[in-house]
Structure formats: C-alpha cells, structure tokens
Structure 1
Amino acid sequence: MTRQFAPVVLFAYARPDHLRQTLTALAKAEGARKTTLWVFSDGARNAEAEANVARVRALLKEQNWRSAFQSVTVVEAKHNKGLAKSIIGGVTQVIAEEGRVIVLEDDLLVAPEFLTFMNTALDFHAQNAAVGSVTGYCPLPQPPKGYEHDVYAVPRSCSHSWATWRERWETVDWSGKGAPRLWREKALRKRFMATGSDKLDRLRRQLERRIDSWSIMFNLWHVINDRVAIYPVRNLVRNIGFDGSGTHTRAHDRMHTALSGSGTALTLNLPPEDPRVLAAFHKAYSGSLPGRLRRTVRNWRMPAVFSSLDPLDKD
C-alpha cells in the first residue's frame, strides 16, 4: 500500500529571507515530493510591513516550489489576522479535509529526515489517545545518561514544528475556561509547571490579552486532558528566528537549536515519563533565576485573572 504523507501547513508573515531558507530545507527533506504544502500568508499589520509581505508573496509564486512538492496551495489573507487566529484557522481548515497535519512557521529549518519521522510518528500514535501531538524539535542537547528510548513523552506541546490529528484538534478549547482548575487543583498546576516555570506566566498574559498565543492554550489542553507530546532525542529542527526578526520571539530567547547529524532511524514507542527528562525540560524552558523570580511575583495575579473568566470551569 502506498504511504500517504500528511500535508505540511506553513505560516508566513513578513520575513522573506527566513521563509526562503525554510522552504529550501523543507524541499530537500525526504518525502517532500510526496507532500502537499499549504502556505498561509498573513496580511501586513502596518504600512511598515507591507513591502516584506509583498516580497513573501512574490517568493511563494516562484515555480521551483511547485516542482519540489506534490502540490502547493497559497492562501493570502487580505488583512492581518495575527499569529493565533492565523494558525488556528489555517490548521482547522486543512485538518478538516486531511485528518492530520504537520505544522511549521517561517523561521524553521528541518533536517532531511524530518518528514519521515513526523509521518511515522503520526501513523504510530494515531490510535493512542495518550498522545496529543508530536514534534521534530528537541530542546535537550543530549538525553540523560542511560536513557534507553529514542523519543521523550512530555506533557508540553511544542511550537517549533508539530503535528496532530483531527480528533485531537477539534476538542481543543481556545477560550481558557478550564484554566481556573490550575489554581484549584495543586497536582494539576504542578504538572502544568513540570516542564517550565514559563508556562503559568504565559497563560496569564494570554488570558489578559497581553500576547497573541495559540500555543499556550494547546499546552493547557495537553495537561488538562492528560496528553503528552512526543519529542525525538535528536533535534530535527533549527529555529533561525532568534535574531530579533520575529514578532513573538525576542533575540535573547535562545534555546538549543543545533541540528543533529543524520543517523539511524529513530525507534518509536510511548516511553514512560522520566523525571530526569521533565527536570531537564524545566531547566531549559525556565530560563535565568531573575526571570523565574519575576514570573513568580507576576503570577500572584493569577487568582484575579482566573476569577474574571466567565463562566468558570466547574469540572
């Protein structure tokens, strides 16, 4: 039986140079010619961005991309939707038709084996309700000593490449009405924070509408519904957006982004959660001590933020 590759959904805004690198790397990945590519190009948020948005759209019209993939569909937004609405809307549109998607943004370079790993993981975990998503990114330079698996199971979804299935995606609540459970249930809050002290602060800022994030709500869905994300032990995705060019990424927000050298195929399974892995993720995502302390102080406002949500989730 011929294997069906999941479509790749790529979100672009106003970084034509980054986008060209992203498309070039993706086109070189194993399986690219069997992959349908959807590109959602957001509209300019101000006059300053108009020229670069136009350059992005001109780049997407270049014919070489048509020969690199099975097909290419470009959706151009007439107005600026912002990151969250663009991603939620684009993924919802494609996943409704295709049943599963692999998602990238315009500052990610993938390794040659990226598509193979992501499609294999989507097939392997399709019927495993404990898995909410998979990613090709790994924030850890190396696994803990003696770790025997090729993947990690972690209660934290990833925005540096990810994939999921329609049955999972359609159950995500983007309103945040379940968030108050984190304050009422200490064990749930502990699990939410187990992979980084940044998460509660990001959730607060999203609920206060200070940021435009879809990913923290997807994180919340994973934890509330007791789902995990599958990460490879070898990093297959490099983020080139930590140069200050991104709308939502600051130049100093640096993570492990070195691509791992090509090696043997990664063996898939659903490993038990390893406390050493969770601790390593927590360290990687929590940042410096001053940053952690500032978040702790800011999070004192959480009860007030939760009480303002209407209606409160009573589950």
Structure 2
Amino acid sequence: MTAPVPPVVVFGYDRPAHLQRTLRCLAATDGARETPLYLFCDGPKAGTDPVRLDAVRYVASDPGWARSFAFVELFCAQANKGLASSIIDGVTTVLERHERVIVLEDDLLVSPDFLTYMNAALAAYADRPSVGSVTGFCPLPALPAHYAHGVMAVPRNCSHGWGTWRDRWDRVTWDTAISRRVWQDRNLRRRLNSAGDDRLSRLRRQALGEIDSWSIRFGAWQVAEGLDTIYPRDNRVLNLGFDGTGVHCGEGAPINDVLATDPTLPDFDLVAPDPAILRAFRKAYSGPYHRRIARKLRLAFVPDPT
C-alpha cells in the first residue's frame, strides 16, 4: 500500500518577498500538485512593522496557491510566538494529522526534484530507528574522494529543508533536561560537536537563555538518543537568509549556495557516520580559527549552564 504524500509546512513572519519566492519555487517542484501545504505566519512583536506582517499574510492567503498544491491551510498567530515555538507548535499540529512532514522556512529555495527526494528519503528511513530526520541540504561542495554513497549519516540535524516522522517528533524532550544530559556526559558532548564545534557553544547559549532555538534542542535530543540525520550528496536547498533579513542567519556567506544542476536520486543506504565526512562537516560549520578559539574560551570560562 502506498503511503500518503507527506505535507510541506512553510513558516513565515515579516519577509513577504522571501516567502513569495519560496512558495513559487516550491510550487514549481515535481509532485507539488499532489502535496498538501500548511502555512504558518507568526504574530506581531513589539517594534515589528505591521505592514510587513500584513504583506506576509497577503502572500500566504493568495488563492492561487490552491491550484499549485493538493490543498492549502493557513494558520495565522494573533500574538508573537517566536521562531522556536512557532516551529515546534506548527510541526506538532501537522504531525497530529500526518505520519511524516517536510519543513521549510521562508528563506529557502529548492531544486525541482526536492519533493521527490524528500518523499523517497522519508519512505526509505521510516522504519530505521537510527535515523531521526532527513534533509535535502548538503553543506559540502565536494565530498571526500573515497566516499561512494549517495547519502551521509551525520550526528547533526539540519534546519534547511528537513523532514521527520511523528513517532520521532513525539519523543523529543524540549525542556532543559536534554541539555543537562548532553552537557554532563563527555561522550555526548563529543558526539554533539563531532560535525561542527559550534554545536556545544549553541547548546550552552540555549541553556543560559541567550537564544531560543528549536533546532539545537532537536539536535541535542537526536544526539542523546543516538540518532543521525541523513544528508544527500547532491544539494537541493539554497538558503537566502544570509542577506541580513534573517534573525538567526545574520549576514555573511552561506555554507553552500550551489544547487545541484543534475541531481541523481540516490540509493538510500543505511550508512554509518564516516570519519572523513565528519571532518568535512566540522570544517564547514566550525568557521574560521578565531571563532573556534572564542568558543573554546567561552566554554572554558563560563559557569556550568545546567
């Protein structure tokens, strides 16, 4: 029996042009007409331009999207939730209706076969207990020469075009217990940082209340449970959020801003994390030397955040 087509959830806030580009790109992908679409627009916070929020809701409520997707449902929050609560609540709401979900934010462009790839990945790893999520993003412009697989298993979740299953999401611990568990276990700390030394620093900032991130909590939970994220060899997601408009991306250069021009649907092997792949991820995500040193100093000279 063929599983139902997973829905796509798209989150927007105050960037109408970004949201429109994301939705137009998504509508042009193979399989969009068979895909349910859920749109979540966060509510206003102090100092936010109401015109921009109204413009986002105008884009999201365009009846034309109903001709591009199987159906469209729009959720508009009256008060501001913030990105973390918006995504946790929105994904939870959709997974109460569906077994699987694909998640995009309003600053992402995807390849024409993005939905084909994500649907196949979600189907292939649905019954693989070692996999916590899948993504269409690849941060590596080139893979190590010896690596022959079309996918990679990495102990680092991805927020750039990802998907998961209800049975995983329902088990996630969102409170501080998971942060304490990872922080107090040397092996878990090492695993969390194995694909980029920014992770432990981000977990510290989350525990101290300096940031409010759903992603580091989801990633810490995956690490604590021994779960990996499956990444593709061919990049299918482009992040536009490094133009200074994003709250969490800021300005600068994206890690990989090249979409694969002729991506191949891979064999979805159950692969183990490869040391050379993890080294390549560390190089991609850890940043320049001065940032790595600054993180180490912060971690060495701050009180235990748990």
Deviates more, 1:204-213 or 1:164-173: 204-213
| Distance in 1 between residues matched to 2:227 and 2:162, nearest whole Å | 14
- Counterpart position of 2:155: 155
- Structure 1 counterpart of 2:27, one-letter code: A
Alignment coverage as a number of residue pairs: 306
- Counterpart position of 2:144: 144
Counterpart contact for 1:6–1:101, Cα < 8 Å = yes
- Counterpart position of 2:172: 172
Q: Cα gap change, 1:303/1:130 in structure 2, threshold over 3 Å: closer, same or farther?
A: farther
| Distance in 2 between residues matched to 1:172 and 1:36, nearest whole Å | 24
- Counterpart position of 2:211: 211
- Counterpart position of 2:70: 70
CA deviation after TM superposition for structure 1 residue 58, in Å: 0.8
| Distance in 2 between residues matched to 1:169 and 1:65, nearest whole Å | 28
Q: Cα gap change, 1:43/1:142 in structure 2, threshold over 3 Å: closer, same or farther?
A: same
| Residue 11, structure 1, aligned to residue 11, structure 2 | yes
Equivalent position SS for 1:270:
coil
Q: Cα gap change, 1:280/1:2 in structure 2, threshold over 3 Å: closer, same or farther?
A: same
- Counterpart position of 1:197: 197
| Distance in 2 between residues matched to 1:292 and 1:78, nearest whole Å | 40
| Residue 26, structure 1, aligned to residue 10, structure 2 | no
- Structure 2 counterpart of 1:94, one-letter code: V
Equivalent position SS for 1:211:
coil
- Counterpart position of 2:265: 265
Output the aligned Cα RMSD: 1.3
1:123-134 aligned at under 5 Å gives the runs: 123-134=123-134
CA deviation after TM superposition for structure 1 residue 184, in Å: 3.5
Equivalent position SS for 1:72:
strand
- Counterpart position of 1:313: none
- Structure 2 counterpart of 1:288, one-letter code: P
Equivalent position SS for 1:109:
strand
Q: Cα gap change, 1:301/1:173 in structure 2, threshold over 3 Å: closer, same or farther?
A: farther
In structure 2, runs of 5+ residues without a counterpart are none
- Structure 1 counterpart of 2:154, one-letter code: V
Counterpart contact for 2:179–2:217, Cα < 8 Å = no
Instruction: Provide TM-score, normalisation by structure 2.
Output: 0.97
- Counterpart position of 2:88: 88
CA deviation after TM superposition for structure 1 residue 292, in Å: 0.8
Q: Give identity over the alignment, percent.
A: 46
Q: Cα gap change, 1:48/1:183 in structure 2, threshold over 3 Å: closer, same or farther?
A: closer
| Distance in 2 between residues matched to 1:72 and 1:128, nearest whole Å | 30
- Counterpart position of 1:99: 99
Counterpart contact for 2:155–2:227, Cα < 8 Å = yes
| Distance in 2 between residues matched to 1:179 and 1:14, nearest whole Å | 30
CA deviation after TM superposition for structure 1 residue 59, in Å: 1.1
Counterpart contact for 1:113–1:262, Cα < 8 Å = no
Q: Cα gap change, 1:139/1:9 in structure 2, threshold over 3 Å: closer, same or farther?
A: same
Counterpart contact for 1:12–1:39, Cα < 8 Å = yes
In structure 1, runs of 5+ residues without a counterpart are 307-315
Counterpart contact for 2:131–2:228, Cα < 8 Å = yes
Deviates more, 1:262-271 or 1:193-202: 262-271
- Counterpart position of 1:282: 282
- Structure 2 counterpart of 1:17, one-letter code: A
Q: Cα gap change, 1:87/1:301 in structure 2, threshold over 3 Å: closer, same or farther?
A: farther
- Counterpart position of 1:252: 252
CA deviation after TM superposition for structure 1 residue 263, in Å: 3.2
| Distance in 2 between residues matched to 1:253 and 1:199, nearest whole Å | 19
Q: Cα gap change, 1:304/1:2 in structure 2, threshold over 3 Å: closer, same or farther?
A: closer
| Distance in 2 between residues matched to 1:114 and 1:79, nearest whole Å | 32
| Distance in 2 between residues matched to 1:95 and 1:49, nearest whole Å | 32
| Distance in 1 between residues matched to 2:76 and 2:185, nearest whole Å | 43
